[in-house]
Structure 1
Amino acid sequence: MQIKKVAVFSTKPYDQRFLEAANHDGRVELNFFETRLRQHTVKLCDGYDAVSCFVNDIVDRSVIEQLAAFGVKMIALRCAGFNNVDMEAANEFGIRVCNVPSYSPESVAEHALAMMFALNRKITRANVRVKEHNFDLEGLLGFNFAKATIGIIGTGKIGVATLRALKGLGCELLCYDPYPSKEAAELAEYTDLDTIYARSDVISLHCPLTDDTYHLIDKTSIGKMKDNVMLINTSRGGLVNAQDALDGMKSGKVGYLGLDVYELEGDLFFRDLSGRVPNDDVFALLLSYPNVLVTGHQGYFTKEALEQIASTTLHNLESYFQGKSSGNELK
């Protein structure tokens, strides 16, 4: 059988290492492009049987039309979210789209907790002080999680992993999801969003980006929250209106903000932009606040997660080439 060719976009050296390890017997031919897939780079797909994309590739209708014209009939996403893909257009042009629905949910959950603890105990600020031989504790006061109420929005695999990790701390756990899970119900109290906003000292987002969740955190929802609330987003950037979060920090409503994702991260994350001035005033202001912690979409970034992403991506591709279902097809 002729080996099928796959164009792999948005690849870094670590992506290539893990994908090549998963494809150790050369079942498919993987060709790696560091560039992102979008309208002006889709021409690179000519001659390929399938493409593999990541979170900041833009697979809109114009890209899908061109993929179809090249004969590409398979898009293998290396992530769980698919808000960057025009699914209606993919269906119209008969292009199969598969994702990686689960890749070590503990990786993202643990990163969310790391952000919570670092913000609460001012770890980054304390580290800078000590390196300067300043051992004063003023300004580093935190609070006990054992006495806190934490609200988890979204109780899929990552939300449940976050609840499980928090359970041992002794805090009160609230959660919300339009599709409740039995496992989450055994760990936390299901309630509505307004109750989570009103009662939570910490709110952590673990839901997909949809029309219903776009800018879930905005000036209206922030206005319903406790003063000095901690907000954590390790899910999708579009869940949080960054300007409204910034305004909430200025007013004292938002006391801590942890972001591993950002709505306009496509032009920022997964790139070395040191020495450049960000062309985003809101983002630049957020970075200047001492009670803001930003990481560059690294919540998933563990050995276990990268191995799972690579193996599932290869499984999705091979299943398609063999005329089978992988079980990860998106509708």
Structure 2
Amino acid sequence: MIKILVTDGMDKGAVCTLKDMGHEVIEQFFEPEELKEQAKNFNVMIVRSATKVRKEIIDEARKTGNLKLIIRGGVGLDNIDVSYAESQGIKVRNTPKASSSAVAELALGHMFSLARFIGIANVTMREGKWNKKQYKGIELSGKTLGLIGFGRIGRELAKKAKALGMKVIYTDILGPAKDCPEYSFVSLDKLLTDSDFISLHVPGNKDKSPVIGKSEFSKMKDGVYLINCARGSVVDEAALLEALNSGKLAGAGIDVYPEEPTENLKLVNHERVSVTPHIGAATKEAQKRIGAEVVSIIKEKF
């Protein structure tokens, strides 16, 4: 039997499976100071995005030597000091396959929301306004979608966008994807100048510097839409607001923020921004797949 700490919630079916396997599972969120003490008592820690596993927590966990595995239920690992954990003999795993479709669908949802004023129309109608003449939108069909990052999520979004009649171009640090000849690989600069919609699907830079800042916005065509369901740090929020206010951007769909919960009310309340509270993987189906991957990882390790 091993002791497993689930700090940010997990699919109930997966929890039951782990218990049926004879493991002790504790589901509880701890603030950082308390987590430092609790981490000593567990063999496995399962986190999502809320819990940050930094050096101080890892150092405390090493005092007993119990902690052998940290699992991130999701894709991004920027909330875990991965290199340091592994240097201390603690394995770090994630579940990269489980949430691709869910995140891609949310990105597409933001595109629809912006193109047809769905989000802001919900707000103004509840205020008693009938702004029919102000909400002349655009169709996605025939538009160019530029994907920055062409991993699992980028590819899922590409398939869905192509089915809607969009032209899909992409850029990726790994170069052209030979197994996807139906989409065009281009340089970042060409993507910025040619795209009607730009969607980010990259993990972010280690130094937290933005992928999209003032210089990149200046290269985009007027009236472009930007979607970020990747990481908050990949877009400079001040430059984003400037681009929205100047009219360079027609709209932005944002699910992730440099600090969460975000306190950037100028961005959240902007009439041409569609916002969600980091819910890219928050579907019943994705959570079941994440849970299944977590169980598989634990079976493999123990």
Shorter chain as normaliser: what TM range? over 0.9
Q: Percent identity?
A: 30
Asked if 1:182 is matched to 2:178, the reply is yes
Q: Distance in 1 between matches of 2:279 and 2:247?
A: 28
Asked if 1:319 is matched to 2:300, the reply is yes
Matches within 5 A, 1:242-253: 242-253=237-248
List alignment gaps of at least 5 residues for structure 1.
269-277, 322-331
CA 1:76–1:161: 2 relative to 1, 3 Å:
same
Shift of 1:231: 0.6
Q: Distance in 2 between matches of 1:131 and 1:288?
A: 15
Decide whether the 8 Å contact of 1:16 with 1:32 is kept in 2: no
Q: Distance in 1 between matches of 2:99 and 2:206?
A: 26
Q: Deviations over 1:226-266 (max 9, x none)?
A: 1121110111111111111111112211220111111111x
Decide whether the 8 Å contact of 2:115 with 2:140 is kept in 1: no
Pick which of 154-163 and 23-32 moved more.
23-32
Decide whether the 8 Å contact of 2:205 with 2:211 is kept in 1: no
Q: Deviations over 1:189-236 (max 9, x none)?
A: 100100011111110011112338841011111111111211101111
Asked if 1:91 is matched to 2:86, the reply is yes
Opposite residue 59 of structure 2, the aligned amino acid is E
Q: Distance in 2 between matches of 1:235 and 1:35?
A: 25
Instruction: Pick one of 85, 95, 101 that aligns with 1:106.
Output: 101
Opposite residue 181 of structure 1, the aligned amino acid is A
Decide whether the 8 Å contact of 2:40 with 2:62 is kept in 1: no
Matches within 5 A, 1:67-78: 67-71=61-65, 72-78=67-73
Instruction: Pick one of 287, 290, 300 that aligns with 2:281.
Output: 300
Q: Distance in 2 between matches of 1:204 and 1:293?
A: 14
Decide whether the 8 Å contact of 2:2 with 2:24 is kept in 1: yes
Tell me the secondary structure at the aligned position of residue 108 of structure 1: helix
CA 1:302–1:75: 2 relative to 1, 3 Å:
same
Q: Distance in 2 between matches of 1:22 and 1:307?
A: 12
Q: Deviations over 1:261-287 (max 9, x none)?
A: 11111xx1xxxxxxxxx7x3xx11012
Decide whether the 8 Å contact of 1:120 with 1:142 is kept in 2: yes
The normalised TM-score by structure 2 is 0.92
Q: Distance in 2 between matches of 1:136 and 1:93?
A: 59
Asked if 1:48 is matched to 2:14, the reply is no
Tell me the secondary structure at the aligned position of residue 7 of structure 1: strand
Decide whether the 8 Å contact of 1:22 with 1:311 is kept in 2: no
Matching residue of 1:327: none
Instruction: Pick one of 58, 65, 68 that aligns with 1:64.
Output: 58
Opposite residue 200 of structure 1, the aligned amino acid is S
Tell me the secondary structure at the aligned position of residue 12 of structure 2: helix
The normalised TM-score by structure 1 is 0.85
Shift of 1:9: 1.1
Tell me the secondary structure at the aligned position of residue 154 of structure 2: helix
CA 1:101–1:136: 2 relative to 1, 3 Å:
closer
Matching residue of 1:9: 7
CA 1:88–1:128: 2 relative to 1, 3 Å:
closer
Decide whether the 8 Å contact of 2:74 with 2:281 is kept in 1: no
Matches within 5 A, 1:108-123: 108-123=103-118
Decide whether the 8 Å contact of 1:83 with 1:210 is kept in 2: no
Q: Distance in 2 between matches of 1:108 and 1:25?
A: 31
Q: Distance in 2 between matches of 1:151 and 1:316?
A: 34
Matching residue of 1:237: 232
Opposite residue 56 of structure 2, the aligned amino acid is S
Asked if 1:23 is matched to 2:18, the reply is yes
List alignment gaps of at least 5 residues for structure 2.
none
Q: Distance in 2 between matches of 1:204 and 1:311?
A: 28
Structure 1 vs Structure 2 CA RMSD: 2.0
Tell me the secondary structure at the aligned position of residue 221 of structure 2: coil
Instruction: Pick one of 140, 144, 148 that aligns with 1:153.
Output: 148
Matches within 5 A, 1:167-206: 167-179=162-174, 180-183=176-179, 185-206=180-201
Q: Distance in 2 between matches of 1:304 and 1:16?
A: 10
